[in-house]
Amino acid sequence: MNSDPSSRSLDTEEIKLDPKYEKILKEHHLRVTKPRKLLIQCLIKHESPQSARALMKELDSQNDIDQVTIYRILDTFLEIGLIHQVFPSGGYLLCDHIKCHHGIHVMLRCINCQTHREVEIPKDVFAPFEWYLKQSHQFEPHHHLFQIDGHCENCQS
Ligand SMILES: [Zn+2]
Ligand SMILES: [Zn+2]
């Protein structure tokens, strides 16, 4: 049962993290550092979007990671699509479809109960919209996350 391969080293290795996240960092040529691990771990715990300040507070209480580092990591994570920002709060959330690179991620936010759900839309479904933007507005969209505000199933009646 005891098959923990990280038992040989301490510190960074001590922080347990789902290997899928380490894999993503490595895929983007990012080192698996202690602050990056801690931040991911912190985000895993929360289902609701967390502000940078809240994350900082949580991390700062046990570790000394400075603000600049945290902001930099958040920027990097946003860039590689590991996390998303939900508006208008601007809070950060871990991507819910991290393994899937095939579709467009859409954040559905209920304006009534404030719940949110990330869904993946097949590229083919999104293609006509993309085509329209290019044709009519000479705009080529690159951002892989969209947010649509509306009413969730519970709030529709
Ligand atoms: Zn996503
Ligand atoms: Zn709702």
Please tell me the distance between residue 144's alpha carbon and the centre of ligand 1 in angstroms: 8
77 shares a domain with 9: yes
Please tell me the distance between residue 30's alpha carbon and the centre of ligand 2 in angstroms: 37
Distance, in Å, from the CA atom of 57 to the CA atom of 152, rounded to the nearest integer, reads 31
Please tell me the distance between residue 109's alpha carbon and the centre of ligand 2 in angstroms: 8
21 shares a domain with 79: yes
107 shares a domain with 83: no
Nearest CA to 42 out of 14, 8, 70, 66 is that of: 70
87 shares a domain with 15: yes
Nearest CA to 82 out of 90, 70, 71, 73 is that of: 73
Prediction pTM value: 0.82
Total tally of structural domains belonging to the chain: 2
Give the 3-state DSSP-derived string for 97-122, with helices as H, strands as E and coil as C: CCCCCCEEEEEEEECCCCCEEEEEEE
Distance, in Å, from the CA atom of 46 to the CA atom of 83, rounded to the nearest integer, reads 12
59 shares a domain with 11: yes
CATH number at residue 132: 3.30.1490.190
Are residues 105 and 144 in contact, defined by beta-carbon separation less than 8 angstroms? yes
Distance, in Å, from the CA atom of 152 to the CA atom of 49, rounded to the nearest integer, reads 17
**Domain ranges, residue 128:** 103-155
Please tell me the distance between residue 17's alpha carbon and the centre of ligand 1 in angstroms: 19
Please tell me the distance between residue 94's alpha carbon and the centre of ligand 1 in angstroms: 7
Domain boundary (53, 69, 94) is at 94
CATH number at residue 32: 1.10.10.10
Q: What is the pLDDT along the chain (157 residues), one digit of tens a residue?
A: 444 444 443 455 677 888 999 999 999 999 999 999 999 999 999 989 999 999 999 988 777 788 899 999 999 999 998 999 999 999 999 998 876 667 788 999 999 999 999 998 888 998 999 999 999 999 998 766 789 999 999 999 8
Please tell me the distance between residue 16's alpha carbon and the centre of ligand 2 in angstroms: 34
